[in-house]
Amino acid sequence: MLDGVTPRIGVLALQGDVREHMHALAACGAEPVAVRRESELASVDGLVIPGGESTAISKLLDIFELLEPLRQRLRDGMPAYGSCAGMILLASEVLDTRPDMHTLNGIDMTVRRNAFGRQVDSFETDLEFAGLDDGPVRAVFIRAPWVERAGADVEVLARVPSGPAAGTVVAVRQGNVMATSFHPEVTGDLRVHRLFVETLVRPRAGV
């Protein structure tokens, strides 16, 4: 509970690491809600789009008749956070994906799918993350995307600090919508989820 109000935050529960995000949100004082239907989407104050397989999630949004309702809620200002596949889905443009993939146009950015390579190229690193105190974030990248273009209204929150991909943008925010290339839900570090809950969802939930 946050100052007497518990925000209801949905986790898109069509495919991917739903349970981990729900546990992280609960630990941050939110009420997590699995979202598979339009009525469930309508009941939440914000939404997390988890990692998974972006093209599969895109198809399932169509099958479950959630694509247009979700786009509309984003246009109406619903806070949202996407990790890995969620970042891909929130983009306005995606490179290296199927031509029939649907995006949500939540952030004005161009994202390259599987930019860091295949599953065997997964890695971890420490990132300085704008708006977070208490040191760097340990970031886990699994078949991760990166941001190749960020629009004028998009705030860059984190970049890869070193190595072949040094300087690559891996966390962004535009208004009430945030996205990361990496998976904070798997590390036990709650700061990214807490940032989402307390700065994006909580004010809109009437706190």
State which residues form the domain around 97: 8-204
User: How many domains are contained in the chain?
Assistant: 1
C-alpha distances in angstroms, 61 versus 35, 44, 72, 167?
11, 17, 13, 33
Query: In the prediction, which pLDDT does 121 show?
Result: 53
Task: Please report, in tens digits, the pLDDT of each residue of the chain (207 residues total).
Answer: 445 579 999 999 999 989 999 999 999 999 999 999 999 999 999 999 999 999 999 999 999 999 999 999 999 999 999 999 999 999 999 998 888 889 999 999 999 998 886 654 578 999 999 999 899 999 999 889 999 999 999 999 999 998 888 999 999 999 999 999 999 999 999 999 999 999 899 887 664
pLDDT at 118: 64
Judge whether 13 lies within some domain.
yes
Residue 3 domain-assigned (yes or no): no
Asked, for residue 30, whether it belongs to a domain, the answer is: yes
- Residue at 123 is within a domain: yes
Name the catalytic one among 28, 84, 102, 193.
84
In the residue annotation, 183 being an active-site residue is answered as yes
Query: Under a CB-based contact definition with an 8 Å cutoff, are residues 179 and 90 in contact?
Result: yes
Q: Evaluate whether residue 1 is within a structural domain.
A: no
Query: What pLDDT does 206 receive?
Result: 60
Question: Any idea what the CATH number is for the domain that residue 124 is in?
Answer: 3.40.50.880
Q: Which of 20, 28, 102, 185 is catalytic?
A: 185
> pTM for the whole thing?
0.93
CA 13 to chain centre: 13
Catalytic residue among 20, 21, 102, 183: 183
Report yes or no on 179 lying in a domain.
Answer: yes
Gyration radius (Cα) of the chain, Å? 16
Q: Is residue 16 situated within a structural domain?
A: yes
- Core vs surface per residue 133-167: b (16+ CB within 10 A) or e: eeeebebbbbbbbbbeebeeebeebbbbeeeebee
| 23 catalytically annotated | no
135 lies in a domain? yes
Q: Are residues 112 and 77 in contact, defined by beta-carbon separation less than 8 angstroms?
A: no
Model pLDDT, residue 164 = 83
